[in-house]
Structure 1
Amino acid sequence: MRLRLARRHAAGAAASLAEAEPVEPHGRNELQARGPDPFRPDRRLRWRDHFVLTEHLLQLDGIHPEHDGLRIAQLSDVHVGQATSDVRIRRAVAAVNEAAPDLVFLTGDYVTHSPKPLPRVRQLLQGLTGPVFVVLGNHDHWVDAPYLRASFEALGYTVLQNEHRVVHVKGAPVTVLGIDDGLTGMEDVEATFRGAPASGTRLVLAHTPPTAEKLPAHAGLVQFSGHTHGGQFIVRGLTEALFRRAGQPYIRGHYRVNGNHLYVNQGLGFGFGGPYLRRGSTPEVAFFTLRNTQAAHVGAT
């Protein structure tokens, strides 16, 4: 499977990627207020409620032809509590629903350190439409992973902890493989892939980006991750060095890892206006469009 992440130009042109080099997300657009905002009585968008929507085109060999044009939304690192504005979270949910993706992925860290916000996770993340798949992060395990799993399942979302599910979307099967958190030692790649289809459209969710190093090599896989908050506070050269030293060489954007592909979401939480400084990395809701490479070639002839 060959994948390219490209600007979503009007002409549909794509830019090639360098091996193991991150590429800044393209096609960014700030979420603008559209008329009265039901989440803020004064109808003003504060800086702490701000995030960006990013668009990514994934051109793939090997996906089912019916999945040409399949749309995915990803939310990560929401960190419900004082670190993240409730308004920002509800606006993000509204933005995902407005885009009406075929699949929605939540990739971990819904709380931070305290169990107090646990009931609000369900309240703030409820209402996502379409098939929703969830994996857990390190903070979720540190606080109360069983509670969070039960909360998401009560919403009708599918939680995957070293499990996979096959779901029919647009008339064809998609295999979603959810690997548990690597930082806390909960990941089990072998168990996740056991019995899963070996071909077709296969999408991997894992909170920690380095999990991509443990996937079957050159298997045509795409992994969606978070955890890093895009570096959180960017100081050129220093941030990258510190992350590498901590065993986190994948900070944000797209990477090639052992012949597979990885996208690291910048995360919605730990943003502006809270107790954690954030600089050079904007809270993100990411959208992806899958294109079948063969179908794209036919369309171009």
Structure 2
Amino acid sequence: MRLRLSQRLARRSASPGPFSQRRNRLALARNEVVARGVEDPLRPDMRLRWRDHFALNEYELHVPGLHPKHDGLRVAQLSDIHVGQATSDVRIRRAVMAVNASSPDLVFLTGDYVTHSPKPLPRVRELLAGLQGPVFVVMGNHDHWVNAPYLREGFERMGYTVLQNEHRVVEVRGAPAAVLGVDDGRTGRDDVAATFRGAPTSGTRLVLAHTPPTVEKLPPHQGLVQFSGHTHGGQFWVGGLTEALFRRAGQPYIRGHYQVQGNQLYVNQGLGFGFGGPYLRRGTEPEVAFFTLRAAATVHAVG
């Protein structure tokens, strides 16, 4: 039975029908205030600091055109990690552990691994190492501002696939899935036509793009799913005001699920820029998102 969207998420989605959310209560136990010894090997028998906290969110996403063998496919997404003083190292390593514990079929990293300084660059590889399963990576605006070639080389050395206006077809559960990675739109490096050139035109097609408005450049009414970040869920959420400011800045998609031109978009709230750092968060939580894909018969278009 399909789980219903919470009222808060429903307000952000023009058509919430194909999408549902549930909290994984067992997984959330990892983030209780008191660490649980063997369940938290990074901080055994110690009080878990608030700056190490993040939410583990479970979603069910109904996807038109999904390959039948991919019904039940599991995807994990990490975004906007911002290695450095903005994000606790313990939080990042715990997030990696949480992803691996969920045993997803695909892992998506959707940009902004650093912020402004090049000093944390070597630590990106150290902290994000060990993700299990096929891992696909796109770059964000901060990555390009700091050193995207360095980050790409580091990810590729770890065996992760970096996509900059490229796509790859990977065999998952006995069927092909196309992963399409659009480069960052904030810095003008996005090229959707190049990304889709030669890619499958049907079946399971999943798009990674750091900036959410890239969804408006995708081929319309294709049953595509785009995974993005960039906004940190609004970072400091004040009802009405945050939305108005983001719209004025050309970012109408802030957090959660949206239907856009016959395709779907999920905007991750980001793991970094969280509690206890120099950047104040209010009304949003650092997030690790998990998706279970389900076959759907139709595309629900917006507008």
The TM-score, its normalising length taken from structure 1, stands at 0.90
Distance in 1, Cα, partners of 2:48 & 2:177: 37
Equivalences for 1:251-290 in 2 at 5 Å? 251-290=254-293
Q: Out of 224, 249, 253, which is 1:250 matched to? A: 253
How many corresponding residue pairs? 284
Could you tell me which runs of 5 or more consecutive residues in structure 2 were left unpaired when the two chains were aligned. Answer: 298-303
Contact 2:73 2:105 (C-alpha < 8 Å) held by counterparts: yes
State the match for 1:81 in structure 2.
Answer: 84
Do residues 218 (structure 1) and 199 (structure 2) align?
A: no
Partner in structure 2 of residue 180 of structure 1: 183
**Does the alignment pair 1:209 with 2:202?**
no
1:292: Cα distance to partner? Answer: 1.8
- C-alpha distance in structure 1 between counterparts of 2:286 and 2:51, whole Å: 10
* Sequence identity percentage: 75
Task: Give the Cα–Cα distance (whole angstroms) in 2 for the partners of residues 174 and 18 of structure 1.
Answer: 31
Opposite residue 172 of structure 1, the aligned amino acid is A
- Residue 148, structure 1, aligned to residue 151, structure 2: yes
8 Å Cα contact 2:75/2:106 also seen in 1: yes
- Aligned mates of 1:25, 1:137 — CA distance in 2: 27
Q: 1:19·1:256 contact (CA, 8 Å) conserved in 2?
A: no
Give the distance between the partners of 1:25 and 1:279, measured in 2 at CA.
Answer: 24
Which amino acid in structure 1 is aligned with residue 265 of structure 2? L
The equivalent residue for 2:243 is 240
- Structure 1 unaligned runs (5+)? 1-10, 295-301
Report how far residue 12 of structure 1 moved. Answer: 3.7
| 1:125 aligned residue | 128
Q: 1:19 to 1:87 in 2, by over 3 A?
A: closer
Give the secondary-structure state (helix, strand or coil) at the position aligned to 1:84.
coil
Distance in 1 between residues matched to 2:4 and 2:109, nearest whole Å:
27
TM-score, normalised with respect to structure 2: 0.90
Distance 2:5 2:288 in 1: 22
Amino acid at match of 1:21: A
Aligned 1:13-92 pairs, distance under 5 A: 13-14=3-4, 21=14, 26-28=21-23, 29=25, 30=28, 31-32=30-31, 33-36=35-38, 37-40=40-43, 43-92=46-95
Q: Cα distance, 1:20 vs. partner?
A: 5.2
Tell me, in whole angstroms, the C-alpha distance in 1 between the residues paired with 2:84 and 2:221.
39
CA displacement 1:255-283 (0-9 Å, x = unmatched): 01111100000000000000000000000
- For 2:37, what is the secondary structure of its paired residue? coil
Distance 1:34 1:103 in 2: 28
Name the CA shift for 1:271/1:22 in 2 (closer, same or farther; >3 Å): farther
Alpha-carbon displacement from aligned partner over 1:15-62 (angstroms, at most 9, x marks no partner)? 596895387973235333442332225532100000000011012221
Q: Matched residue of 1:26: which SS?
A: strand
One-letter amino acid of the structure 2 residue matched with residue 82 of structure 1 = Q
CA RMSD in angstroms comes to: 1.9
Conservation of the 8 A alpha-carbon contact between 1:20 and 1:257: no
Measured in 2, the distance between the counterparts of 1:104 and 1:185 equals 25
Task: Encode CA deviations 1:109-143: one digit per residue, 9 max, x unaligned.
Answer: 00000000000000000000000000000000000
Q: Does 1:104 align with 2:104?
A: no
